[in-house]
Amino acid sequence: MASHVTDHHHQNTNELTPSVVILPNYTLVNPNLVPVRYVVNPAAIAQLEVNRSINLQQLMKDEGLVPSAEEERKRNDVIRKLKEIVFKWIKSVASLRRLPQNNIRAASATILTYGSYGLGVYNAESDIDALCVGPWFATLTEDFFIGLHNMLANRVEVSDIHCVKDAKVPLMRFKFEGISIDLPYAQLQVTTVPENVDILNPLFLHGIDETSWKSLSGVRANNSILQLVPNAKIFQELLRCVKHWAKRRGVYGNLFGFFGGVHLAVLAAFVCQSNPNVSLAGLVTIFFKTFALWPWPTPIILQQGMMVPPRHHETRSLMPIQLPSSPHEYCHSNVTTSTFMKIIQEFRRGYRLTQDLFKFDWRNLFEPYPYSKNYQQFLKLCLSASNQDDLGDWIGWVKSRFPGLLQKLEEFHAFYDPNPAEYSDTTIQDPNVVFYWGIVPGLSNILFDLNSVQREFKKYLGTGSKGVKGKISLSVIPASQLPKNLQLVDNPHVHSSPTQMIPVYTNPVPYYTVGYLTPEHPGSGHMS
């Protein structure tokens, strides 16, 4: 064993420079746990972590996940122009309302960013989540959705603008110089809204309506997270890695029962807050270990200074994650039994992969999920409409109702893995988008009544649709009928079968034991 690791070291000098002394000890503690004793130079481990962090940072750049200076400048310009537009807009609203001249002069509104852009983890493909914050006299229905909408629609920089009024958080969606913008509105009970208004200050939140409160939640969560993490830069690096992992492994997308951006931001902040002096590579390792072994549904709660809020269990969620800006609010979650199993499976896979200090390649962690290899049958959901504009509205409406479909499938004992990726069926003449959801073998009733599910889901889609029209069809297909770009080939260097052995580590350095739990071991749970 010692010679094997030494040979690996010589082949990968960029991974491990200091010397490592490994003394094997083959004492068998029990039939399922085989410990191996390593005597490791702490300096070697420290240098190894530095090298692993550098390699991970480089991989993120190579994957295009770190914005260029040009991309950063472009987005800053877009936000600056939006602020100028809403400033002119609020002055016109104040004049329209015939406010006193001193109130018109004092009137102001602003733009606050949140989401990936607000947290500093965006890339060239990211949209911008921006919140328009206005004063008491500017209404959502009339002034925002009509007045500001018309001002934006008349700008040459703006295209594809439409209002999404029936969402839980009503917003305008448009492109500004080619960058997609989601713009909700919050109305404060003040006349003057400072440019960088502190919406964590309760003075600004007094008397606001429920819609404004919901619209503010994203900005409040972002600001709270950035205040609570010990090092914003390393938090951003960790979150960038975690989001990349979640997207590659098919566990990103709140409407599909997986994580949204705010969920991952809180999880990453939780790890950073608990480990303030750990390298990026070390934090990634701790991230997977923490949540692979987490006793769900115990909630994830960020510490507020030295005080830990009382542990309030959110019984409606399998994976409750508290919003850091409020001790009584949780991140909205659509996690179901099916998606919970997939998320835990991916946490445990990440845990297995990141434990190997000597034979580790970051690319394995971010390997795309092999749907066609893991599932023999798929639920095919085809959404179509008569033209492209109608299709966009139809897709948005159906996706907003996906959580109801996921629950209905589980009522029929159909367990699934809803791949969030969108495809197109070239055999259909109308514009269309297709989703392929893996049916979990061994757990699902393959003979469930699909026609009944489809009828009930169509009835659900018709409730409150307000003119959004399109077609939807559900069918079960074999893996052989998947699109070619979904028929992935397994990475030969990554073994993710359910019987793979799980590494168990204790006491990091200078002496630590490495063992393996087989699936039959009672302590291994479902670590597969």
- Decide if pLDDT at 312 tops 80: no
- Neighbouring CB atoms inside 10 A of 389's CB total 12
**Which strands form 502-506's sheet, in the order they lie side by side?**
36-39, 511-517, 502-506
pLDDT at 516: 27
The catalytic site residues sit at 116, 127, 129, 182, 243, 252
Confidence of residue 368 (pLDDT cuts 50, 70, 90): very high
3-state SS assignment for residue 304? strand
pLDDT at 483: 84
pLDDT at 269: 97
pLDDT at 365: 96
The residues, ordered by sequence, that sit 6+ positions from 19 with a Cβ below 8 Å of its Cβ are 41, 44
Q: Please write the tens of the pLDDT for every residue from 230-269.
A: 999 999 999 999 999 999 999 999 999 999 999 999 999 9
- Nearest residue to 218 (alpha-carbon basis) of 138, 126, 141, 324: 324
Confidence of residue 505 (pLDDT cuts 50, 70, 90): very low
Contact 521/33 with Cβ under 8 angstroms? yes
Annotated binding site for Mg(2+): 127, 129, 182
Distances (CA, A) of 208 to 46, 86, 213, 303: 51, 20, 7, 27
Q: Please write the tens of the pLDDT for every residue from 324-337.
A: 887 778 998 999 99
More confident residue, 54 or 357: 54
Q: Please write the tens of the pLDDT for every residue from 59-77.
A: 999 999 999 999 999 999 9
Average pLDDT, the chain: 82
pLDDT at 293: 96
Q: Please write the tens of the pLDDT for every residue from 85-110.
A: 999 999 999 999 999 999 999 999 99
pLDDT at 29: 41
Instruction: Give all domains of the chain, ordered by start, each with its CATH number.
Output: 2-62 (no CATH), 69-215 (3.30.460.10), 228-354 (1.10.1410.10), 371-524 (3.30.70.590)
Task: Give the orientation angle of helix 402-411 with respect to helix 388-400, to 10 degrees.
Answer: 50
Polymer length of the chain: 528
pLDDT at 316: 62
Going by the DSSP 8-state scheme, the letter that residue 147 receives in this structure is: I
- Neighbouring CB atoms inside 10 A of 301's CB total 20
| Section 162-185 average pLDDT | 92
pLDDT at 18: 37
Contact 440/415 with Cβ under 8 angstroms? yes
Q: How far apart are CA 372 and CA 298, in angstroms?
A: 33
pLDDT at 524: 29
More confident residue, 518 or 380: 380
Distances (CA, A) of 47 to 20, 51, 54, 358, 521: 11, 6, 11, 12, 34
pLDDT at 442: 76
% residues pLDDT > 70 (the chain): 81
More confident residue, 210 or 11: 210
| Section 346-374 average pLDDT | 91
**CB-neighbour burial class of residue 487 (10 A; exposed 0-12, middle 13-18, buried 19+):** middle
* DSSP result, 364-432: HHTPPP-HHHH-SEEEEEEEE-SSHHHHHHHHHHHHHTHHHHHHHHHHTT--EEE----B--TT-SS-E
Q: Please write the tens of the pLDDT for every residue from 409-460.
A: 998 888 999 999 999 998 899 999 999 999 998 776 766 788 888 899 998 8
In this structure, which amino acid lies at residue 170?
A: P
Instruction: Give pTM, 2 decimals.
Output: 0.81
Q: Please write the tens of the pLDDT for every residue from 105-129.
A: 999 999 999 999 999 999 888 899 9
pLDDT at 40: 63
pLDDT at 45: 77
pLDDT at 325: 82
- Decide if pLDDT at 352 tops 60: yes
3-state SS assignment for residue 172? strand
Report residue 267: phi and psi, to 5°. -60, -45
Q: Is the bond leading into 297 cis (omega within 30 degrees of zero)?
A: yes
The residues, ordered by sequence, that sit 6+ positions from 59 with a Cβ below 8 Å of its Cβ are 362, 363, 366
- Decide if pLDDT at 39 tops 80: no
| Section 300-314 average pLDDT | 58
- Decide if pLDDT at 8 tops 70: no
Q: How much is the CA Rg of the chain, to the nearest whole Å? A: 26
